[in-house]
Structure 1
Amino acid sequence: MGRPELIECAEYGVAELVTNALLHGEQPIWVRVRGTRDHPRVEVHDASRQPPILPGSEPLSDVGEDDLLLTFGRGLDIVARCSTAWGAQIEEDGKIVWFVPSTESHDDTPVPGVISGADGDRADRLEPSDLIEVEIRDASLGALNVCQNHTRELYREVRLLSLAHESRYPLAKSLASLFGSLDRLVRDGIDSHEVEAALARGQRTATLRVTVPRSTVASIDRFLELLDLADAFCREERLLSLARSREQRRFQEWFFGEFVRQQQGESPIPWAEAAEGRQSVS
């Protein structure tokens, strides 16, 4: 990445977080880099939803050798002293502990960590008149899984950017709210048991009925524009993640477009029919 000044602190932080995941987390465990070139973020994921133990305020020099051995791989003092921002994101499938490497360690002023997550972010109870049921006809289950993961990734990305560098990325906080509402649309609106049952029967496609707030549907056009913008940032390497493939983009435009179309009173269009139409146009 051309950021050699970050290597030492990045190595210390990764060693601590991976040790922590191996000793106290659950498989699977993975490590990756996200964020931007100016503010690269290292993420370590494990399948445990147990929040990490935040470090104490005492300097490492005040900790005895035996105590240091007991806290190795558990306390996050090293991460707090080798980063400009760090924290943990608690998710449905585990947690991600992340940090932004610093150019040098700061033993006297450890950075406080921030623990965040989806718990408590559920929408308020809505009246039936505020909801709309949409029929997603003959959706590709494989493409749907990719769509769900991509939406969740974008939500996580802008949320963590806003937590770590809100002053440098002033739009991140408002984008996190929009992306979060669409993430909940995909995550909460679809019956996961219905999808799992279809997969267990060997189905490659399924027709799903999704109930979502009308207010969320009104944001979809703006959301699709932001997906294109995010792709452009990824291609320009302004975001350290991959742009969507053409097939992923087509599926997402059809999937989210069905919410807009059916709210306007139009009939559902199956995925295969929509895909053939788009291919003929291109």
Structure 2
Amino acid sequence: MPLNRPALLLRTGSRAVQDARAWVRSVCTEIDRTDLVDCAEYGVSELVSNALFHGAAPVTIRLRGTVDHPRVEVRDASTEPPLLPVPLALDDEDEVLLTVGRGLSIVASVSDAWGADIDSAGKTVWFTPAAEIDEGDGVEGVITGPSGAPPKPERLGTETVEVSILGVPLSLYRGFQHHFRELRREVRLLSLAHANDYPLAASLSSLFSTLERQLLDGLGHGQLSGVIGPGEGRERETADLHVRMPRAAAETMRRFLDMLDLIDEFCRQERLLVLARSPEQVTFQRWFLGEYLTQAAGGRPTRWTGTQMTGNAS
């Protein structure tokens, strides 16, 4: 059953809300959560309307979270925090937009949890649909991202080690960056919205924060030398990365490698609505992170040749 449906790009105008309602009804049926349909439709109508009136194109909708706690996300290109929608004069027969103008209190009343995650490229407003409407004030939303204080990484000590990672294939490295950010965001939102149900998520979120600088800032702040692909002017295909990292970060990376395998297993069991890594991704990440571990322990670097793909992935 396809739990990882591609994000739906919404058209502008009132038809977008109708499309979003049909989409969320379909995905709730796919994951056998028809008990959530009513609240999911109310919530997505409000968020899509808000994005269209106060956000910036493109506007997309997608499903994340878990089967037990599916999370509907509406993303637009504006970095402004979500605002209350502007009331519209509607035709009495237009049942699609009946929730417009009643504000994010609608989302709060039909959610188990909701909030907004803001980054440099836009914002994602999300909610986990409840099984029934709360007649009171509903749950309080939470804003995450640049507008809030980022978690401080663990102090890893002052002793450092020079690490050379040779022949890094940049296409796989960029895929690793994307995978890392998706997983980090996923576990952060799970830890915020459903900490009691997913106690591991809080530990993972802290671990991701600790590793982010070492893993993701390396190419930007390390000393980079590379090999240009055949043909003048071709984009760089591989690179040698030279960085200085805290020696104590090696143990954190070892924990992270173990956690990646555990996350893959959760994904295969459909306990996370994200894709498990491909064999190619597994092999590359084990080599890439393993170079930090090997050299922190005094070993010599091993250049990526592509032959690491043979027989090493699980």
* TM more than 0.5: yes
Distance 1:153 1:14, change over 3 A: same
Indicate the larger mover: 226-235 or 88-97: 88-97
Q: How does 1:261-276 map to 2 (within 5 A)?
A: 261-272=294-305, 275-276=306-307
Distance 1:5 1:126, change over 3 A: closer
Q: Given the two structures, how large is their TM-score scaled by the length of structure 1?
A: 0.82
Q: How does 1:184-223 map to 2 (within 5 A)?
A: 184-191=213-220, 201-223=234-256
Identify unmatched segments of 5+ residues in structure 1.
Answer: 56-62
Deviation track 1:63-113 (CA, whole Å, cap 9, x = no partner) reads 9987xx9x9479422211111100111223322211000112224222110
Q: What SS does the aligned partner of 2:199 have?
A: coil
Indicate the larger mover: 99-108 or 13-22: 13-22
Identify unmatched segments of 5+ residues in structure 2.
Answer: 1-30, 90-96
1:92 alignment partner in structure 2: 120
Does residue 248 of structure 1 match 2:278? no
Q: Counterparts of 1:129 and 1:176 in 2: how far apart (Å)? A: 23
1:279 alignment partner in structure 2: 310
Q: Counterparts of 1:100 and 1:181 in 2: how far apart (Å)? A: 27
Q: What SS does the aligned partner of 1:171 have?
A: helix
4+ residue segments displaced more than 6 Å: 63-66, 124-128, 192-195
Indicate the larger mover: 152-161 or 179-188: 179-188
2:134 partner amino acid: H
Q: Counterparts of 1:127 and 1:183 in 2: how far apart (Å)? A: 13
Q: Counterparts of 1:150 and 1:225 in 2: how far apart (Å)? A: 16
1:76 to 101, 104, 119: 104
Q: How does 1:1-282 map to 2 (within 5 A)?
A: 1-53=31-83, 72=100, 75-117=103-145, 120-121=149-150, 123=152, 129-191=158-220, 201-272=234-305, 275-279=306-310
Deviation track 1:120-176 (CA, whole Å, cap 9, x = no partner) reads 437579899444342221211111111011111111111111111111222221221
1:44 partner amino acid: V
Higher normalized helix content (fraction of residues): 1
1:60 alignment partner in structure 2: none
Q: Count residues in correspondence.
A: 268
Distance 1:281 1:43, change over 3 A: closer
Distance 1:181 1:29, change over 3 A: farther
> 1:38: how far off?
0.8
Distance 1:110 1:210, change over 3 A: same
1:102 partner amino acid: A
Percent of paired sites with the same residue? 49
1:91 partner amino acid: D
RMSD: 3.2
Indicate the larger mover: 199-208 or 84-93: 199-208
2:25 alignment partner in structure 1: none
1:276 partner amino acid: T
Q: Given the two structures, how large is their TM-score scaled by the length of structure 2?
A: 0.75
